[in-house]
Amino acid sequence: MTQTTDINRQILLASRPSGAPVAENFNLVQSEKPTPEAGEVLLRTIYLSLDPYMRGRMNDAKSYADPVALNEVMVGGSVCRVEASRHEDYKQGDWVVAFGGWQDYSVAKGDELLKLDNNMANHSHALGVLGMPGLTAYMGLLDIGQPKAGETVVVAAATGAVGSLVGQIAKLQGCKVVGIAGGQSKCRYAVETLGFDYCLDHKSDDLAQQLAKVCSSGIDVYFENVGGKVFDAVMPLLNSCARVPLCGLISQYNATELPSGPDRLSLLMGMLLTKRIKMQGFIVFDDYGHRHGEFSQQMEKWLLAGQITYKEHVVDGLENSVSAFIGLLKGENFGKLVVRVGPDELK
């Protein structure tokens, strides 16, 4: 069934996954539409963002954010329209960015929302190139990575929401950019459309050798969003004074135990020491939320000038969110994954 004016479809966390999430970890239910109280607005979800960090919220582990409770709605950023407003800054029909979760309707306090230009060409971009993934790429690369012209920047998940922007911004800084992606068609896209200098297929058996070959002067910035065997290939190539902004580790989100030994913790620390490397984790809204204005101004300029290309992978229907999310963790999406939950105008 599709979005209606009176039923609130919701996808709940039914059970916690052990390893990769499966369909049974989620539960699609129908509830009543919530009612806004004073200072709140009722929102209808138009687009839902699906992002790798959501896997972490499914665990019952202390992390930077609280886990989703069992039988609660899965969390997520969304682009919504105001259905009813009890907040003076919002009126019916307004477009906003909210943290509405995997459902048709939600309520939010007015001051938790980001107002969008109602005439914006692509409102869904507020979940990608102009939203959280864009800010992540921009701040992680420029503020922590500090790439200089002529340096070599490596980024994995090279056609993903964040990686594709990291590589393009690095090219705009005059860097040599090497992407890593899953499969030949993504690699071709990274080079031919995004303008990366090279893009390697992480499914190749000789990834480490290929990477060493194309990074003949070593690696100055590695934008880390995957971990695992990609990091293993990157580690020996890092130059003195390299910077490693750390924004995600998708390869290990489904891990149920640590890999077997030897224990390379001391190896990593020894390398950071002798090569004077900075490795720094960041959570974009906590660390850089206050710089969103500066970012969106610059990114809008680049988009208008055609200097940044952005690709979305749009899945239709809230009911398909679960399979799309499971696919995201396997790298099956091609571009920023967004679910079209409802139409712009609901009759």
Chain positions contacting its own copies, by CB under 8 A = 56, 63-64, 224, 227-228, 231, 240, 246-249, 252, 255, 257-270, 272-283, 286-287
Supply the minimum distance, in Å, between the C-beta of residue 66 and its own copies.
12
Supply the minimum distance, in Å, between the C-beta of residue 57 and its own copies.
11
Closest to its own copies by CB, 35 or 240 = 240
Closest to its own copies by CB, 172 or 235 = 235
Closest to its own copies by CB, 91 or 229 = 229
Closest to its own copies by CB, 59 or 307 = 59
Closest to its own copies by CB, 14 or 279 = 279
Closest to its own copies by CB, 72 or 263 = 263
Supply the minimum distance, in Å, between the C-beta of residue 274 and its own copies.
5
Beta strand residue intervals within the chain, DSSP E: 7-13, 26-32, 40-49, 78-85, 95-98, 105-109, 114-115, 152-156, 176-181, 198-201, 219-223, 238-246, 278-281, 312-316, 336-340
Phi, psi of 273 (to 5 degrees): -70, -60
Supply the minimum distance, in Å, between the C-beta of residue 56 and its own copies.
7
Residue by residue, DSSP assigns 134-185 as: HHHHHHIIIIII---TT-EEEEESTTSHHHHHHHHHHHHTT-EEEEEESSHH
What's the burial of 128, exposed, middle or buried (CB within 10 Å: 0-12/13-18/19+)?
A: buried
Supply the minimum distance, in Å, between the C-beta of residue 17 and its own copies.
17
Q: Tell me how far CA of residue 166 lies from CA of 153, 169, 170, 175, in angstroms.
A: 9, 5, 6, 11
Contact 210, 141 (CB under 8 A): no
CA distance 210 to 341: 41
Supply the minimum distance, in Å, between the C-beta of residue 240 and its own copies.
7
